[in-house]
Amino acid sequence: SRRSALGRKAAFSTLSILVALLIAGQAVTIYYVYQQSGQISKLTKTSQNLQLEALQRKLPGNAKPVNKMKMAKANTPLLMHPASFEDLSFKAPASNKTEDIVKHLLLQADPSRKFPELNDNLMDNLKHLRRTMDHMDWKSFESWMHKWLLFLMANNPKSEDRKTIPAEKG
């Protein structure tokens, strides 16, 4: 009987040690998983920041990221996400013309920005822009014009005024 009591105590001690090791192992595993979760979080943020920087580098010339631009509240074109209009409080331009409002917004973002004098017809103005813009800015502008044209075509798909304009060689 004394032997069985010692055997039970040994078994209980062994079982207690195994349970303690199991609990300690679980605690260590949880600690490492928590640490890895923190590392993954940091890597995700770093990755997102790098993607944002890469996108900003692709923006044309003097363009600023949307979250750094200040925008007027009054009658602005729908160029930005509505959430970016929330905390804006500065004086809008005197004129309510779209061109004046957009110029005002761009100058708010970058006061050193310059605008070319475009007083000819549309084709001559576009030729002037193509000659004066660097290649990447022009390609970005062409891409924007393509999307704008698609928008106009989708907005008025049955327009009888639309005529095909052949592309000019050169």
**Chain segment 101-141, per-residue pLDDT in tens:** 888 888 888 888 888 888 889 899 899 889 988 899 899 99
**Chain segment 75-100, per-residue pLDDT in tens:** 444 444 444 444 444 566 667 788 88
Q: How far is CA 59 from CA 45, 95, 98, 143, in A?
A: 21, 28, 22, 12
- The domains of the chain are located at 11-58, 121-154
Distance CA 2, CA 11 (A): 14
Do residues 84 and 67 make contact, with C-beta atoms less than 8 angstroms apart? Answer: yes
